[in-house]
Amino acid sequence: MEGEPRAYPALPAIIQGGMGVGVSNWTLARAVASLGQLGVVSCTVVDTVFVRRLQDGDPGGHMRRAMAAFPIPGVAERVMQQFFRPEGRPPGTPYKQLPMYQHIVDKGREQLAILAAFVEVHLAKEGHDGPVGVNLLTKVQLPNLALLYGAMLAGVDFVLMGAGIPREIPKVLDAFAEQRMVAVRLEVEDRQADTPEMFSLDPRVHWEGTPPPLKRPKFLPIISSHSLATMLVRKADGRVDGFVVEGPTAGGHNAPPRGELKLNERGEPVYGERDEADFSKIAELGLPFWIAGGTGTPEGLAQARALGAQGIQVGTLFAYCDESGITSELKRSVLAAVVEGKADVKTDALASPTGFPFKVVQWADDPATKVNRKRVCDLGYLRVAYAMPNGRVGYRCPSEPEAEFVAKGGAIEETVGRKCLCNALLSTIGQPQERKDGPSEPPLVTSGDELVRLGRFLEGRSSYTAADALAWLLSPVATTPAS
Ligand SMILES: Cc1cc2nc3c(=O)[nH]c(=O)nc-3n(C[C@H](O)[C@H](O)[C@H](O)COP(=O)(O)O)c2cc1C
């Protein structure tokens, strides 16, 4: 039946995509969810975003309001003492950093990550009963258990994870719903031995008595191929509830092309027919799915439904609305360039330390073009674990200074063109680290290829709300799309 969800009427037609770092924050997700569509908070790096908000004085008191609802005793008070600055930071003062997450983590650091995810989801759910989801990158392995647990403590309805194969996540959600300990495999590079390294989270160590069971959220892996969808249905450790099928035009990280990597004259990965997901095969799996990547238009929604999808996941259109975390200056500057036809989106094969292609917006007024970006790894979310010669686990990131990366056994080729996305993306949401030896960290803006066509929706406006975006996406389509 065209124009209507086929078999899952209770599910939303539109997912506002998770956008890290802090772009899809609680304000955006709440705006979307309160209108009945799926609002998704990004919890990638959310623990650092959270302690930086506290250090900036927590304008509006939202962090403190949500912290007061956190159910594990004593944690919020300790975090307030460590990070809250009622007057904010004096100009030029660097943010106090969190210790980098490790696979063996102390209780306090784990609790801080649980609290940060709780706060973000709690606020996104405040004042309405629409659905709220959480987005995490599978590759950022270490804090994910704590973040999932915190999101579940706040009653999150959906978990969406891409950038890797989230095969073990269903069992994590099942375990946390019963307040059970869960252990997952840690990917360790250069490891010779067969025994896998594991890391774990045990909810019971954080409570005195027996904590009450939690709701098990629906799990939607973000995938780019039907073969991965089939594999996850058959081989994931537990139940998968549907899929987001994301193509290579989407904002943020993209799945690399299949086969040998070929670059075009702009240095972008070349995608071909083999990279196109077969939606009929995905529909045959009998689970709801949403199509992402260039689908954020009324026609995109109609076409997705004609292909058997429940709806669409949209990023770029929401990234520039008033509620998103990108600073107003950057939003204004990029949208002005879009209207003038002077914004460009490049699929950068090198920028991300993950090695996945990453979309980068290029425009004349990009403040980052005026500053030299330094090689650094002081936040550590994109580090990978590797086996040190003594057999212990160490961590390295291809965006750290070359000599340090190579001293840890990393290959020099891997460092070429890499940027510290952790720091750059925090700057994009107005939380740049101050550097004693130079200017503060420059921003980096990511968007999907559709950005350059946003003028059609803007119709002369220089700003808009999430509600404007939703009303447009749900508006009638003039002609019936071909299926
Ligand atoms: C600013 C921005 C940041 C993004 N960050 C993430 C992310 O952290 N995790 C993720 O799974 N997808 C991320 N995405 C992808 C979106 O969730 C969504 O799937 C995608 O943007 C859809 O394509 P569209 O941009 O053409 O609408 C991001 C997209 C944008 C625009």
- Residue 456 pLDDT exceeds 80: yes
Per residue in 130-146, pLDDT (tens digit) is 999 999 999 999 999 99
Q: Which atom of ligand 1 is nearest to the CA of 314?
A: 27
Ligand 1 in reach of 316 Cβ (< 6 A) = yes
Ligand 1 centroid to 314 CA: how many Å?
Answer: 7
Shortest-distance Cα residue to atom 3 of ligand 1: 19
Q: Cα of 433 to ligand 1 centre, how many Å? A: 24
pLDDT at 339 over 50: yes
User: Residue 21: is the preceding peptide bond cis (ω within 30°)?
Assistant: yes
Pairing status of strand 393-396 against strand 384-387: antiparallel
The answer, yes or no, to whether any atom of ligand 1 lies below 6 A from the CB of 444, is no
In this predicted model, what pLDDT tens digit does every residue of 68-114 receive, in sequence order? 999 999 999 999 999 999 999 999 999 999 999 998 899 999 999 99
Check whether 286 has a pLDDT greater than 80: yes
Mean pLDDT, residues 367-382 taken together: 91
Domain boundaries, the chain: 14-326+459-473
Q: Which uninterrupted H or E stretch holds 291?
A: strand 289-292
Ligand 1 neighbour 248 (Cβ under 6 A):
no
pLDDT for position 482? 52
Residue 191: per-residue pLDDT: 83
**Given the CA of residue 247, which atom of ligand 1 is nearest to it?**
23
Mean pLDDT, residues 60-64 taken together: 98
CA angle, 462 then 460 then 430, to 5°: 15
Q: How confident is the model at residue 329 (pLDDT cuts 50, 70, 90)?
A: very high
Task: Say yes or no: CB of residue 314 within 6 Å of ligand 1.
Answer: yes
Residue 247 alpha carbon to ligand 1 centre in Å: 11
CB of 319 sitting under 6 A from ligand 1 = yes
Ligand 1 atom at minimum distance from 136 CA: 9
Instruction: Name the pTM for this structure.
Output: 0.96
Spell out where 363-455 has E strands. 384-387, 393-396
Ligand 1 atom at minimum distance from 449 CA: 26
Is residue 296's pLDDT more than 70?
A: yes
Quote the mean pLDDT of the chain: 94
Instruction: Tell me the average pLDDT across 381-401.
Output: 94
- Read off the DSSP letter of residue 160: E
Query: In angstroms, what is the C-alpha Rg of the chain?
Result: 21
Q: CA-to-CA distance for 361 and 74, rounded, in angstroms?
A: 43
Average pLDDT rounded to a whole number, residues 365-376: 89
CATH of domain 14-326+459-473: 3.20.20
At residue 439, the pLDDT reads 84
Q: What is the rounded average pLDDT of the residues 59-71?
A: 98
Instruction: Please name the residue whose Cα sits nearest to atom 2 of ligand 1.
Output: 19
Whether the Cβ atoms of residue 47 and residue 144 lie closer than 8 Å to each other: no
Q: What angle do CA 288, 294, 297 make, to 5 degrees?
A: 85
- The pLDDT confidence band at residue 196, using thresholds 50, 70 and 90, is confident
User: Strand, coil or helix: what is 21?
Assistant: coil
Q: Is the CB of 254 under 6 A from ligand 1?
A: no
Q: Kindly tell me if the per-residue pLDDT of 419 is higher than 50.
A: yes
Angle at the Cα of 113 (from 24 to 399), degrees rounded to 5?
Answer: 70
At 38 the three-state DSSP class reads strand
Four-CA torsion 151, 157, 160, 161, nearest 10 degrees: 40
Between 435 and 76, the more confident residue is 76
Tokens of 393: 């686990």
168 φψ region: left (φ > 0), alpha (ψ -120 to 50), beta (else): alpha
